[in-house]
């Protein structure tokens, strides 16, 4: 691009001015050592960084940003890095999901209010990817995602151990008396031994991989380990591409089409990806104006087998996945099922981009014709217990429980669960259905990741390792079990989960996609009429805004007033 064909760059509204405003915009930036050449009409690329010391999974993103900058400079752009809210899955309370929409608002406002023509999103830990993408989608500039990449494989006592997944296993082992607390603590350092995000196919790896499926990241974004130099090269190339995308006017709406979401959902099934992806993609689609429903999740993913042998569904980790071919090899294997013409940020279609990819280790990545597990997708259940839908991940569940009828053991809240689950007097057996409510978007608030309720210790001692569990909560992408999640509408908004009583019969039929509370309709009406309406305990602040505006799980848990886009228009001057 020459200095003369930059008229459409929005950054020119700041930097091309010859008046006092232009003086101010350029002068203050020059205190960072930028020469006048940087203001000559070259594309300005904002590097939106979710780095934080308190988000250890993203702790290396300042360094990665330097590699993005190199690529931007090489392509003739002007990189400017800026921080946004970071969401720390390991440390934030009560749950990062409470703040995903806050990050999205921060990103949207930061992009629109400042002089940039394209954006690189530096993300990693679970909610940072959807939060940043949702905000960027509500602006719509050319946008490319660079994920921080997974940690190296955890290793302890000669065995692979996976983030999250083995924490849950270890916790259950301590509860069952099979592991000492000292051993439990010794395993910590062995698990998280390098920079990066969780190295199981949890939410972070799922979302980083789905960015390839959506076409918003370059190939291999999902799996290159955080500390592998090829991650830095990917960041470099992404910076380069961001500049080219501005020149090509390759805006986000040209990439995030309905076909892109189709491909991401198919990929999620093949990866045995996190159930959290359901709410994130629903919210993202609504931001960019693509119609997408829970039923699309079921119908597009239904026939797709799980191709990867990765924790929590399998035995390997993201490092193995990358060496075995990574996401491109899976996309290549899925090619007959993909909408191959969907455009990606590389400027090529997803089909063309991955056609040369190969599987290097068939123990980790399986072929479509001889898959790792037959059912990889997310099953969407409906019935009188979840008229708005609920989800289950069959690849992480027990086949023997896919059709099950059992008596409800109800926990009214997360606190109630903690108080009673270990009680030896709890009236529960292996056929019971554990029900947890008031943990949805409004009830918790923020939709807690506790839908995989622990197995009561007295059943663990009998060797029971899985049971049917139902809630309006989410679960960690690193968790597993026969767990029905995201029941909508949630109990706190008057959903039928609020009507269940101890001893009620519940029927789960995953093949038929049914979830029923086997209680007569007139009795349910009586219970509904006796329900006390939800009283929000929040008089001010973020929680008040959240509870008043959050949508249910079947609409992505976004805020009602954030759905859609406001475009990339340049705001008026401030003084």
**Site residues (vs ligand FES, CB under 6 A):** 57, 89-90, 125-126, 163, 197-198, 202, 204
> Rg of the chain's alpha carbons, rounded to an integer?
24
Min dist. Cβ of residue 191 to ligand FES (A): 11
Min dist. Cβ of residue 318 to ligand FES (A): 11
Min dist. Cβ of residue 58 to ligand FES (A): 8
Q: Residue 207 or 260: which CB sits closer to ligand FES? A: 207
What angle (nearest 5°) sits at the alpha carbon of residue 123, between those of residues 14 and 80?
25
Name residue 435's beta-bridge partners.
Answer: 410, 470
Q: Residue 153 or 353: which CB sits closer to ligand FES? A: 153
CA dihedral 169, 172, 178, 184 (to 10 degrees): 70
Query: In 206-217, which positions are buried (b, 16+ CB within 10 angstroms) versus exposed (e)?
Result: bbbbbbbbbbbb
Q: Are strands 468-471 and 433-436 parallel, antiparallel or unpaired?
A: parallel
Min dist. Cβ of residue 63 to ligand FES (A): 17
Name residue 155's beta-bridge partners.
Answer: 160
Q: Are strands 154-156 and 118-123 parallel, antiparallel or unpaired?
A: unpaired
Q: Say how far apart CA 157 and CA 566 lie, in whole Å.
A: 53
In Å, how far are 122, 512, 563 from 83, measured between CA atoms?
10, 47, 23
Min dist. Cβ of residue 253 to ligand FES (A): 28
Q: Residue 96 or 493: which CB sits closer to ligand FES? A: 96
DSSP-derived secondary structure letter, 308 = B
Q: Are strands 505-509 and 514-517 parallel, antiparallel or unpaired?
A: antiparallel
Min dist. Cβ of residue 170 to ligand FES (A): 16
Phi, psi of 53 (to 5 degrees): -60, -30
Q: Residue 51 or 236: which CB sits closer to ligand FES? A: 51
Q: Residue 198 or 267: which CB sits closer to ligand FES? A: 198
Q: Residue 12 or 169: which CB sits closer to ligand FES? A: 169
Query: In 177-195, which positions are buried (b, 16+ CB within 10 angstroms) versus exposed (e)?
Result: eebeeeeeeebeeebbebb
Q: Say how far apart CA 431 and CA 467 lie, in whole Å.
A: 7
Min dist. Cβ of residue 204 to ligand FES (A): 3
Q: Other CB atoms closer than 10 Å to residue 573's CB: what's the count?
A: 12
DSSP 529-575: HHPPPP-----SHHHHHHHHHBPPGGGTT-BTTTSS----PPPPP--
* 3-class SS of residue 356: coil
Q: Residue 127 or 262: which CB sits closer to ligand FES? A: 127
Q: Say how far apart CA 71 and CA 84 lie, in whole Å.
A: 22
Q: Residue 152 or 510: which CB sits closer to ligand FES? A: 152
Q: Residue 163 or 238: which CB sits closer to ligand FES? A: 163
Q: Say how far apart CA 117 and CA 239 lie, in whole Å.
A: 13
Q: Residue 126 or 259: which CB sits closer to ligand FES? A: 126
Min dist. Cβ of residue 90 to ligand FES (A): 5
Min dist. Cβ of residue 222 to ligand FES (A): 13
Q: Residue 208 or 270: which CB sits closer to ligand FES? A: 208
Min dist. Cβ of residue 522 to ligand FES (A): 46
Min dist. Cβ of residue 59 to ligand FES (A): 10
């Amino acid at each position: 691009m020459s200095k003369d064909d930059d008229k459409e760059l929005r950054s020119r509204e700041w930097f091309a001015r010859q008046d006092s405003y232009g003086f101010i915009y350029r002068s203050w930036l020059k205190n960072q050592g930028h020469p006048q050449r940087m203001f000559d009409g070259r594309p300005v690329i904002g590097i939106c960084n979710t780095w934080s010391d308190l988000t250890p999974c993203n702790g290396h993103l300042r360094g990665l940003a330097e590699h993005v900058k190199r690529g931007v400079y090489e392509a003739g752009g002007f990189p400017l890095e800026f921080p946004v809210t970071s969401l720390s899955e390991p440390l934030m309370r009560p749950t990062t999901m409470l703040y995903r929409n806050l990050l999205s608002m921060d990103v949207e406002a930061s992009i629109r209010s400042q002089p940039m023509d394209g954006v690189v999103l530096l993300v990693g830990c679970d909610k940072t990817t959807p939060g940043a993408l949702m905000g960027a989608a509500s602006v719509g500039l050319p946008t490319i995602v660079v994920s921080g990449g997974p940690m190296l494989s955890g290793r302890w006592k000669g065995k692979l151990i996976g983030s999250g997944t083995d924490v849950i296993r270890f916790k259950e082992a301590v509860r069952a008396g099979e592991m000492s607390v000292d051993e439990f603590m010794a395993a910590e350092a062995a698990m998280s031994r390098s920079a990066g995000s969780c190295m199981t196919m949890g939410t972070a790896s799922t979302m980083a991989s789905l960015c390839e499926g959506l076409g918003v990241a370059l190939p291999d974004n999902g799996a290159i380990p955080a500390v592998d130099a090829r991650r830095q090269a990917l960041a470099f190339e992404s910076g380069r591409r961001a500049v080219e995308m501005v020149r090509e006017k390759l805006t986000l709406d040209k990439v995030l089409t309905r076909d892109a979401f189709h491909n991401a959902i198919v990929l999620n099934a093949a990866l045995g990806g996190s159930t959290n992806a359901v709410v994130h993609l629903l919210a993202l689609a609504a931001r960019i104006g693509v119609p997408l429903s829970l039923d699309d999740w079921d119908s597009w993913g239904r026939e797709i087998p799980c191709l990867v042998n990765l924790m929590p569904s399998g035995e390997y980790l993201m490092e193995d996945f990358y060496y075995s071919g990574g996401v491109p090899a899976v996309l290549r294997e899925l090619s007959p099922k993909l909408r191959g013409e969907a455009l990606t940020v590389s400027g090529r279609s997803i089909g063309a981009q991955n056609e040369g990819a190969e599987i290097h280790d068939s123990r980790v990545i399986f072929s479509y014709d001889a898959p790792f597990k037959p059912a990889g997708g997310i099953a969407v259940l409906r019935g009188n217990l979840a008229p708005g839908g609920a989800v289950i991940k069959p690849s992480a569940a027990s086949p023997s429980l896919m059709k099950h009828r059992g008596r409800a053991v109800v926990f009214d809240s997360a606190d109630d669960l903690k108080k009673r689950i270990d009680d030896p007097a709890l009236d529960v057996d292996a056929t019971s259905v554990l029900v947890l409510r008031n943990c949805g978007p409004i009830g918790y608030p923020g939709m807690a990741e506790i839908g995989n309720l622990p197995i009561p210790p007295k059943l663990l001692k009998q060797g029971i390792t899985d049971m049917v569990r139902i809630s309006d909560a989410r679960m960690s992408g690193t968790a597993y079990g026969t767990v029905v999640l995201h029941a909508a509408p949630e109990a706190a908004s008057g959903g039928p989960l609020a009507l269940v009583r101890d001893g009620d019969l519940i029927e789960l039929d995953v093949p038929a996609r049914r979830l029923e509370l086997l209680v007569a309709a007139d009795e349910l009406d009586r219970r509904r009429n006796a329900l006390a309406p939800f009283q929000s305990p929040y008089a001010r602040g973020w929680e008040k805004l959240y509870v008043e505006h959050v949508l249910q799980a079947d609409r992505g848990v976004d805020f009602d007033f954030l759905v859609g886009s406001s475009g990339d228009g340049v705001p008026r001057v401030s003084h």
